[in-house]
Amino acid sequence: MARTDTGHRRHRRNRERLKRLREPCHLCDEPIDYSIPYPHPDSFEADHVKPVSKGGYLFGELRASHKRCNTARGNRSVDEYRDSIRVDCVDRFPTSREW
């Protein structure tokens, strides 16, 4: 029986292939420092575009992301996550000229 966790050889190979591409985070579009070790919030993490908990496939499409961005996203879609970031920014920074 095949392993179903992220330690599976095929998943590790895909994650390493993605890491070699050195792409920016697909969630925040900021560069990723690939030299930072894993537990750090700014480290590289392979993110499933369609969350496994929502029917995504373990070996499905992976994109580069920061650990903090991937953790904050949870099992929401990329669009839902980006919309939540926009709402946070709008709430924090007033844009009117009336102060």
Query: Residue 82 falls within a domain, yes or no?
Result: yes
Tokens linked to 1: 């029986």
Q: Any idea of the CA torsion for 20, 21, 24, 25, to the nearest 10 degrees?
A: -70
Secondary structure (3-state) at 32: coil
Task: Convert the pLDDT of each residue in 80-97 to its tens digit.
Answer: 988 888 755 545 555 566
Please state the domain count of the chain: 1
Prediction pTM value: 0.76
Domain that holds residue 57: 9-92
Task: Convert the pLDDT of each residue in 14-39 to its tens digit.
Answer: 999 999 999 999 999 999 999 999 88
Distance CA(25)–CA(37), nearest Å, equals 16
Secondary structure (3-state) at 17: helix
Please answer whether residues 62 and 47 qualify as being in contact, where contact means their C-beta atoms are separated by less than 8 angstroms: yes
Query: Residue 98 falls within a domain, yes or no?
Result: no
- The CATH code of the domain that includes 79 is 1.10.30
